[in-house]
Each structure stands twice: as structure tokens, then as C-alpha cells.
Structure 1
């Protein structure tokens, strides 16, 4: 599933290709891919308008166009974008094409059909329900401690709640909790101030390193040019059930937290 590092990688790699280009049209191949407008209305809103900026909010990619028009792409479980010249041969699982001038096409790929391209009523407030960005300068250990305070839910679930913090998904939550030596099932409100600091540092470190590695290709994610990410090569616990912990050499275990597969080291991350 594309999480913050994957969406940020997509944004950075699309940025020099799309800024200043004009949208020619959008063609969906799955009737639920477009959200907030049908194909005809979507094209009335966006066709002919120039892309002024490309931004990310949590796991959302946001296209901001002239005249304050904007739309987002939410990749959900298996979405990605591949660039190409014109239509050519449609990539497998292509659910929509965003055609730009200069014969550039953005192919929205989504094997499981959970992702969407959504019209936003307001570029500034549409995603305001999301929590703070964990890599912003304004995000602090004090803010994280306040978010966790009073929450009896498992710490893993608290990190995955996008209303709490925007962009952290399953595999990076596992990696951050391992780096901070915190068991994923511990109640969020039982994390000490010292542990909050460790977790804060781990979140920022794990996400920053994953962006540098162009995201993680575990299953479906590919970069816009078709290349794989390499962040998965650095994983210590995520998707590594049965492998040995890089610190203590004991087997990594898998459990379920909030219906999500969760990987951890029972020795380095004692439940306590």
C-alpha cells in the first residue's frame, strides 16, 4: 500500500513532468475510479486548465490547477501512476488515463480497484480532517505525546489512524515501533515520555530513509517511470516473519492489530 514515502516519491518524480502542463482530458475505465463527478463533469472542471502545483497531504496526491481547481489521487491498497507518451498500449490494471498536453499520459494503475481520483471542493480545506504531517517542522515530541495521551487503543492502531498523524501506514508503523523498541499492542496512553521521544525520532528517521530509497516495493507499488522502490531492503521487521531479528537474532513474529498484519520482535519489543 502506498504510504507517505511512496506518495512523496511519486510527487517528486512527477513534479518536473507535469508542472505547467495543461490537462487535455481524463478517461476512466472503471466506473468507481472517479469520485465527486462523472467523466463528463470531471472534464468540464479540469480539461484545458494548467497544473500549477503538485502536493502531498498524508497519503493523498493533490493536483492544484489554475482558477483554484483541484483534485486528489488516493492510491489506497494497490494504486500507482505510470507515465507514458500518448495512449500506446494500456498497462495492465489501468483504471484511468490523465492526458496532458505534449502527448504525456498519466496511467492510474490499481489492481484491486480501491483507489480513486476525487474532485476537491477546496484545495486548502478538503483534507483538513487529517492529522499533522510527521515530517513537518511543526510536528514535535510534545505534539506526539498529546496525540497519544488518553488513548487506550494499541499504539500501532493509534499510529495508523490518519486523524492522529497523516501518512503513516502499516509497514512504516512496524518499522518505527521496532526502532523505538515498543510492542505494537501496548496501549498508547502507557507510552512513557522517554519512549515518546524515541518513537518520534524513529518515525522521522524511518520515513526519511524510505523517501531516500524511493519507497518500498513489496507487492504492487512502482515509481512513475516503472522502477521499483528499494526501502524494503532496509526493513528490520516489516514483512519479515520467520526471519531473524537483526539485533537479537530471534525470529520475527506476526500478529494482528486492528485487522492489520503486524511484524515485531518479541525480545526487542517486550509487551511489558
Structure 2
């Protein structure tokens, strides 16, 4: 599942490649991934141009002409792939967006993907995105901001996965972020020392930027079909159940944390 680094790579490539292109044909194979009927969707988006592509949390936003936005959510994973001409696109997809210059891109969702066309004046009422918080890559995501949201009795992992607090982080990167900070995922936020919060902030930014520089996870594709460079061996404890902790050599465990699982070192991350 694509998270902040992968979505940042994808959205930047889309912004660079698609800006000023005009939508022509839109081929919808699976109508249920749309927020409106396929006929209305195709009619409304045709002729609009791409002004800017950016991300908000785990959503990709296309700012379009005529005061519209196209919103794309990859769900549990997707291949979103660019093609140069109508002879080159992948044959399997739920949606295909074709531009008037004969280029385009396809969306092949693995599970639960969404494509929504919304007027700009309706964005503030769009329930899935209206309350998404800023991401660790935003300039306003400062240490002071992080300190302010680190309050209450909730478990630290739950807080960091809460998209209303921190946009874009999912269950992929959080294991190593917490391990580097020597914090158990079920630790109550209000039990953390100020120095632990500061250290957690630094490790979060460092971990996500490292992955961004690697162009994301190795099993995720970018806009041109290239896999990222963050391979499994670069994880510290994540997805390494039964292996040795890189710091103390205790056995890494997989534990249940609410609706998700977590990989931890029981020695380095004591509850």
C-alpha cells in the first residue's frame, strides 16, 4: 500500500508530466470506483486541463480548470501508469484517462481504489479528505506542531496513524520509526518524556526522507512503471519476525496492536 514517500514520488512525476494536458476520452471499466455515474464523469471531465497535481494525506489531488478537482485514492494498492500514446497503455485497468495529445495514464486498483470528480466549492464538504492533517513533508509540520498533537491517553501508534493528526503515514513505515525511537507502539502518548517526543519527530522525518530518496518501497511502482529502491533488507525490524534485533540481538516479535499488527524488539521497546 502506497504511503507518503511513494505518493510524493508519484504526484511529483504526475505534476511534471501532466500539467497543461487536456482530458479527452475516459474509459471506465469499473464504475463503482467513481463517485458519480460513468456517463456524467466522462462528460464532466472531458475538455478540462490539469493545472497542478499534489497530495493530501493518502489522496492524490488534481487541480483542474473550470474549478474542478480530480481525486485519486489508491486504496490497498494500485498501479498508476503513464503511457506516451494510445498504442502503449496497459490492457488491465479500472480507469483509463486519455489526453488530447494521445498520451494518458491507467489506474489498476488492487483493492478499494477511488476516483472522484468534485467541484472546488464542494471540497470543504468532502468527508474522506476535509479533515486530513498536514504531512511530515509539509513546511508547517514542525517540531512545535508535533509536540502540540502529542497529547492525551491514546497509544502512540494510533496517534501517528490518525490521518486527522498526521497525514500520509501508514502501517508500513511506522514500525521502524518507533523502533529507532525505542518506543513501544502501545505506549500512551501522555507517558512520553519531552525528549522522547523530540527524538520520535526526528526519526519520523529521517525515516520518511530516506525512503523518499530511495523513491519508495521496492514493491511499489512509480508513474513510469519503475520500482522503488527501499528493499526489505533496509527495514530494521518491520516484517522481520523471528530475526535478530540489529541493536540488542533479541528476537523480533510480531504483536497485535488493535486492528493492525506491529513488529517490535521486546527488549528495546518495553511497554
Asked if these proteins are the same fold (TM beyond 0.5), I'd say yes
TM-score (norm 1): 0.91
2:133 to 105, 122, 131: 131
For 1:41, the equivalent position in structure 2 comes to: 40
The answer as to 2:194 corresponding to 1:193 is: yes
Deviation at 1:242, TM superposition (A): 1.8
The answer as to 2:106 corresponding to 1:107 is: yes
Q: How far apart in 1 are the matches of 2:32 and 2:131?
A: 23
3-state SS of 2:31 partner:
coil
Gaps of 5+ in 2: none
Q: How far apart in 2 are the matches of 1:121 and 1:269?
A: 47
Q: How far apart in 1 are the matches of 2:226 and 2:187?
A: 37
Q: How far apart in 2 are the matches of 1:46 and 1:89?
A: 20
For 1:184, the equivalent position in structure 2 comes to: 185
3-state SS of 2:13 partner:
helix
Deviation at 1:89, TM superposition (A): 6.0
Deviation at 1:236, TM superposition (A): 0.9
For 2:147, the equivalent position in structure 1 comes to: 145
Deviation at 1:153, TM superposition (A): 2.3
3-state SS of 1:189 partner:
helix
Tell me the matched-pair count. 265
TM-score (norm 2): 0.91
The answer as to 2:123 corresponding to 1:122 is: no
Q: Deviations over 1:199-250 (max 9, x none)?
A: 11111111111111111134xx211221211223421122221222222222
| 1:146-161 pair list within 5 angstroms | 146-150=148-152, 152-161=153-162
Q: 231-240 or 43-52, which moves further after superposition? A: 231-240
For 1:86, the equivalent position in structure 2 comes to: 86
Q: How far apart in 2 are the matches of 1:101 and 1:144?
A: 44
Deviation at 1:87, TM superposition (A): 5.7
Asked whether the 8 Å contact 1:7–1:61 carries over to 2, the reply is: yes
Deviation at 1:251, TM superposition (A): 2.0
Q: How far apart in 2 are the matches of 1:25 and 1:153?
A: 47
For 1:241, the equivalent position in structure 2 comes to: 241
Deviation at 1:88, TM superposition (A): 4.6
Q: Deviations over 1:142-180 (max 9, x none)?
A: 322221211x22211111110111001101111211121
Q: How far apart in 2 are the matches of 1:87 and 1:108?
A: 16
Q: How far apart in 1 are the matches of 2:190 and 2:218?
A: 33
Asked whether the 8 Å contact 2:89–2:105 carries over to 1, the reply is: no
Gaps of 5+ in 1: none
Q: How far apart in 2 are the matches of 1:203 and 1:217?
A: 19
The answer as to 2:54 corresponding to 1:55 is: yes
Cα distance, 1:103–1:148 mapped onto 2, change above 3 Å:
same
Deviation at 1:31, TM superposition (A): 2.3
Cα distance, 1:231–1:205 mapped onto 2, change above 3 Å:
same
Cα distance, 1:217–1:32 mapped onto 2, change above 3 Å:
farther
For 2:13, the equivalent position in structure 1 comes to: 13
3-state SS of 1:267 partner:
coil
Q: How far apart in 2 are the matches of 1:87 and 1:69?
A: 29
The answer as to 2:212 corresponding to 1:227 is: no
